[in-house]
Amino acid sequence: MFQEKRQEITRGITQEERGFFASQPAAWPLYETLTRCMEQVCPPFTVQVHKTQITFRARYGFASVSLRRIKGCPPVFFLLSFGLPYAISSPRLNMVVEPYPQRFTHHMIISREDQLDEEAMGWLLQACHFALVK
């Protein structure tokens, strides 16, 4: 888990967010860790809860969490997706797609807190900055 503290947590987790995990409550602590880490490293962002995903937005959406199963999902997980203007090559990423020219969506299965480390938070920070300037 990413430990550096750049700012105090300012956003409370909502009942909508908690309700999103009703079908997979064991993944809720992972989500709490993710949001705590993101609040420490990312500029202020908002959260929108939808039926199939939770979207993190700066000026535009930069990351999302879903419970959609893809190949290799363990029993407890969520799928963390984030967008960048370039593709990252890493064995930690389960899929990278280019839905639009120069827009790459990266998908990463999160099943343990230690996966929310400095590298993952760095990717999310880059995605957040990209959402602010695109």
Q: What is the share, in percent, of the chain residues with pLDDT greater than 90?
A: 81
> What's the CA gap between 121 and 2, in Å, rounded?
7
pLDDT of residue 41 exceeding 60: yes
Could you read off the pLDDT of 45-54 as tens digits, one per residue?
A: 999 999 999 9
Using 50, 70 and 90 to split pLDDT, how confident is the model at 7? very low
Q: What is the mean pLDDT of residues 85-90?
A: 96
Residue 53 has φ and ψ, to the nearest 5°, of -160, 160
Calculate the CA 69 to chain-centre distance. 15
Using 50, 70 and 90 to split pLDDT, how confident is the model at 28? very high
Contacts of 44 (CB under 8 A, 6+ apart): 10, 11, 58
